[in-house]
Structure 1
């Protein structure tokens, strides 16, 4: 299989985007960097990259919308979601929308490339039998409610019975591991 030479990298964190971009360029990829949905779709239209690394939270925008748009326009493009705010809900939705894999930050460049080129899942992954913590369950519930309301924080806050600013504070915190 010939490896695509072009990668679309979408992340609103400029420092992270630049560091990952340089690491990919050292591996002989041409990297097209975008910081928002509009520039990502524009660059994809101009360059038609074979690979895409999409951050889940791009400022106030959802990377899931970028995944959906790219997967529908470029069905052969291999897409991976990279996020510091992983949840079961967003992982499932990302895969349904066209991502091949879903990785949490920090992720090594080799792990990202492996996910981009891997066509099958890994049945040998350790399936933990330990139940999730209450904090993690809350995080998952918030993410599901937010997804159910198309990322609208005000509507999700109303559905959860909490103030919008409270929900925004909870979303800024990193989720509990277990």
Structure 2
């Protein structure tokens, strides 16, 4: 683990917007980034984030991709409009190529899967414009990524097993077995 505190201490503006509808994750990530030297503002919805951006445009932002009241892409655009030099990182538990491309086109500099480690987030925020951050120390396993995707589709289908199985092109009983198990590490 590399100590990023000195690099963060040298920043002229340490303002950071953290937007996530998962309150425990938002609080934990906010505290961890604050301990590293950032000055976070924590919000739980797109509307709160837009108001925070309007009141004080942050130098950095860590935004969830999907929230109940909208998408993080709307906030990326607001941050970019208010402060073109801001660095924005998108977080999502349901990563796929299409949403990564949309986030980058909207102005995000990086795209990380949840649960993202605070050091990975800080590294991504501090990465130089022409260099990409190093790969995460402990990325999610392929089984965990698959499980996260299945959970997301299941949630989007209103916890309807038959509809989820149809959309995933999977037998219903196979899906039921997967849903009955604990999340892989």
Normalising to structure 1: TM-score of the pair? Answer: 0.67
TM-aligned CA deviation for residue 32 of structure 1: 0.5
**Unaligned runs of at least 5 residues, structure 1:** 126-135, 144-152, 154-164
Q: Over residues 27-50 of structure 1, what are the superposed CA-to-partner deviations in whole Å (9 max), with x where a residue is unaligned?
A: 122110111111101112222211
Residue in 2 aligned with 1:129?
Answer: none
| Cα distance in 1 between the residues matched to 2:55 and 2:84 | 16
Residue in 2 aligned with 1:120?
Answer: 130
**Unaligned runs of at least 5 residues, structure 2:** 1-9, 136-145, 157-161, 169-177, 180-185
Which of these two proteins has the greater Rg computed from alpha carbons? 2
Residue in 1 aligned with 2:92?
Answer: 83
Does 1:48 pair with 2:40?
A: no
- Following TM superposition, where does structure 1 have runs of at least 4 consecutive aligned residues deviating by more than 3 angstroms? 121-125
TM-aligned CA deviation for residue 69 of structure 1: 2.1
Aligned-residue CA RMSD in angstroms?
A: 3.6
Does 1:57 pair with 2:66?
A: yes
TM-aligned CA deviation for residue 111 of structure 1: 0.9
Normalising to structure 2: TM-score of the pair? Answer: 0.65
How many residues in Structure 1 have an aligned counterpart in Structure 2?
144
Residues 1:2 and 1:87: Cα distance change in structure 2 (over 3 Å): same
User: Please, which of 1, 11, 17 is the counterpart of residue 8 of structure 1?
Assistant: 17
